[in-house]
Amino acid sequence: MRPFPPRLLRRCLPLLVTLIAGARPIPQEFRQEVALHHVAEPGRPAGAVEEVILGPEGEPICRTGRTWSARRNGAWEVLAAPPARATPPDLPPPGEPFQLARGPDGIWWAGTRAGLWRRTPAGWEEEVVLDGTGRRWAVGEVRAVAVDSTGQTWFGVAAGVGVRTAGGWRFLEGKDGLPWNGFTGAAAGPGGEVWFGTDRGAIRWDGREFHYRQGPRWLPEDRIGALAVGPDGTAWFATAAGVGGIARRTMTLAAKAEFYEGEIDRHIRRTPFGFVAEAPLRIPGDRASAGRHDSDNDGLWTAMYGAGECFAYAATGDPRAKARADAVFTALRFLQTVTQGGPVAPPPGFVARTILPGEGPDPNTGQAERDRAMQGRDALWKRLEPRWPRSADGRWYWKADTSSDELDGHYFFYPLYHDLVARTPEEKAAVREVIRALTDHLLAHGYTLRDHDGRPTRWGMYAPERLNADPHWVVERGLNSLSLLAYLSAAAHVTGDGRYTAAAAELAARHGYAQNLFHPKFQTGPGSGNQSDDEMAFMCFYTLLSTTRDAALRERALTAWHVYWGLEAAERNPFFAFAYAAHTEGRTLRNLWGEFPISPAAGWLEDAAATLRGFPLDRLNWPLRNAHRLDVVPLPAVQARDPHEPGNEGRGHGRDGRVLPVENRHFNHWNTDPWQLDYGGRGDVLGAGTVFLLPYYLGLHHGYVAKP
């Protein structure tokens, strides 16, 4: 019998383990939330909307002043007369209620200034609501009341939410996941769901848990005056800034990926090489006003986008994915070649951070002042003139002082491109040439990235005498040891050159780099930083474990990654989860006390799925606020190691100990602190969908996401 090809076995093993363990791949189909106030609709009512109700066909009808408008077939039209509405035969004794609701049994409920009232055939009666401790609820102002599709009555008061079930009253407070209690109304939707309007956003109860929607990403204005939910589950909101709506539309993860790919193609790709990072907007909210601007880490972000395309091509065989990955390889290779031959040039193999057109403004203007300001914050910051040298042909400025972030991205991409995308001998030779030049540069300069001034770049330091003996580099010791071992393993894997294997072995044996792996993150604990390091570490762990043939090094890396995963599991990061699971699912390690499993703990796949589904299609940097929420637990105060960091101020998590869902956060890249509760922004930067595409394609490749 022919032996099973080892390379094929390595690729199939994660999927086989997943199937054996019984973990279901994440289904493609889900319901995507879409904020409708960002969608242009003819005739949309202008100005403050004071009421919103449902028409006879379930269409939203809203009132602005004395004008009523109805939405039909995606457009709004003014009604000739006010719509007819059902009302009870009389009002409850406390007078005009805050809200009325009628159940399927025809019984009216009223939320009033003096409690919750129910109209029986005998007239209005106050509902006395007691919990199991003898506390009386629904006293004072009851500003929200609704009857859901199953006949359960809901109300909202300052203490929380009450629901009248078949087994009696049930109460939900902040400790039960209720995000906020400033209720202004409630409305029932299909399937037992209930929406609550508040003075700080909207809340949806889905039958199991609450979901909070706040800020201009989701609503025209946070204070909701009235709300209604259509038969399709679309929630409509009356606000002082207009009518808003949140729809949930059936979609597939593959279609979501296509949407983000289109956004990148239309608005984000920069220069003929197609660098992918983010795009500033001249007009907030208007994607058509997107400009093309460099990012300090264009090489890193483009490499991560390209890595996703490598996984996409391996999983689907889509020629478009190969074309995108090919373009990324060309772009990253250019960052290496553009630095050579000009009037100011570093040693061969050096890669630039990014590029700018040579006919544009000189980016070196004001650089001396910026360097002085940085030296005030960072004692090791180097002044570099020019920071933006010109290319040999004068067509480009290229940015020097390249960081370890950039190299982590390059080395993450190259072996993936070589193994999963490159098909012809010429394509594979091109990858070998690029990774060899970069790695030989590091070897030739004592494991440093040497700039055009003959000195190492600020962050390009991997030399053992500095990492192991210089107190200024103790923070970077573990991470940079991991990075360098990953680089050398990747180079050996791609080129077959034994020099790189020997160099890695010497660093591990003589300089303790394998031991340094056990502490790849200097900061420990949630919210303690540095998420850039986390992103870099997970790329490097994946690269190292995908390419090394050193069994002892592999075991140390797996042990270190297992400990690191314990810090990151609560962050609901599908990239981290899929990368880690691909190398650890179903595996065990041994220590003095026996074998122990290193698979991610139960629930990791559900967290990854929730984040992939929850990513808003709108990738604009709208502000979001969460610090006021009742269901948030602040992180305990700590003394920050970096005086420029606020410690744990403004950081926190949900009652389940995990970071808030992705719908309540914004970040352009996975290096943003997910424990941060509030996010600034004006809707004037469009982030790339790479944060979705990379984990989605990675999960697809490893069998954690179902094929489309």
Residue 355's SS3 state is strand
Provide the pLDDT for residue 637: 76
Provide the pLDDT for residue 4: 34
Asked if pLDDT for residue 245 goes beyond 80, the answer is yes
- How far is residue 185's CA from residue 310's CA, in Å, rounded to a whole number? 49
Contact 52, 70 (CB under 8 A): no
Which helix (H) or strand (E) element contains residue 484? Answer: helix 477-495
Q: Supply 415's token pair.
A: 């072996």
List the domain boundaries for the chain: 6-27+275-622+683-701, 86-240
Asked if pLDDT for residue 643 goes beyond 90, the answer is no
Residues contacting 79, CB < 8 A, separation 6+? 61, 68, 69, 70
Instruction: Give this prediction's pTM.
Output: 0.94
Provide the pLDDT for residue 214: 98
| 426-455: average pLDDT | 98
Provide the pLDDT for residue 526: 67
Longest dimension (CA), the chain: 94
Residues contacting 20, CB < 8 A, separation 6+? 586
* More confident position, 463 or 12: 463
Provide the pLDDT for residue 30: 98
Q: Which CATH number fits domain 86-240: 3.40.1190.20, 2.140.10.10, 3.50.50.60, 2.130.10.10?
A: 2.130.10.10
Which helix (H) or strand (E) element contains residue 558? Answer: helix 551-568
- How far is residue 310's CA from residue 307's CA, in Å, rounded to a whole number? 5
- How far is residue 47's CA from residue 45's CA, in Å, rounded to a whole number? 7
Which long-range contacts (C-beta less than 8 Å, at least 24 apart) are formed by 340-345?
A: 340/392, 341/391, 341/392, 342/389, 342/390, 342/391, 342/392, 343/389, 343/390, 344/386, 344/389, 344/390, 344/452, 345/389, 345/392, 345/452
360: confidence class by pLDDT, cuts 50, 70, 90: very high
Provide the pLDDT for residue 646: 55
Q: Do domains 6-27+275-622+683-701 and 86-240 have the same CATH topology?
A: no
Provide the pLDDT for residue 8: 40
Residue 491 exposed, middle or buried by CB count within 10 Å (0-12, 13-18, 19+): buried
Provide the pLDDT for residue 20: 40
Q: What is the CATH number of domain 6-27+275-622+683-701?
A: 1.50.10
- How far is residue 325's CA from residue 304's CA, in Å, rounded to a whole number? 10
Q: List 195's β-bridge partners, or say none.
A: 187, 204
Question: Between β-strands 29-35 and 242-252, what pairing exists: parallel, antiparallel or unpaired?
Answer: antiparallel
Asked if pLDDT for residue 1 goes beyond 80, the answer is no
Asked if pLDDT for residue 408 goes beyond 60, the answer is yes
| 236-246: average pLDDT | 98
| 246-266: average pLDDT | 98
The count of other CB atoms within 10 Å of the CB of residue 457 is 23
Provide the pLDDT for residue 644: 54
13: confidence class by pLDDT, cuts 50, 70, 90: very low
- 482-516 per-position pLDDT tens digit: 999 999 999 999 999 999 999 999 999 999 999 99
- 14-66 per-position pLDDT tens digit: 444 444 444 579 999 999 999 999 999 999 998 999 999 999 999 999 999 99
- Could you give the C-alpha distances from 144 to 93, 156, 223, 314, in angstroms and in order? 18, 5, 14, 52
530: confidence class by pLDDT, cuts 50, 70, 90: confident
- 580-601 per-position pLDDT tens digit: 999 999 999 998 999 999 999 9
| 200-213: average pLDDT | 97
Average model confidence (pLDDT) for the chain? 93
Least confident segment among 21-25, 102-106, 402-406, 437-441: 21-25
- How far is residue 397's CA from residue 363's CA, in Å, rounded to a whole number? 8
The count of other CB atoms within 10 Å of the CB of residue 150 is 13
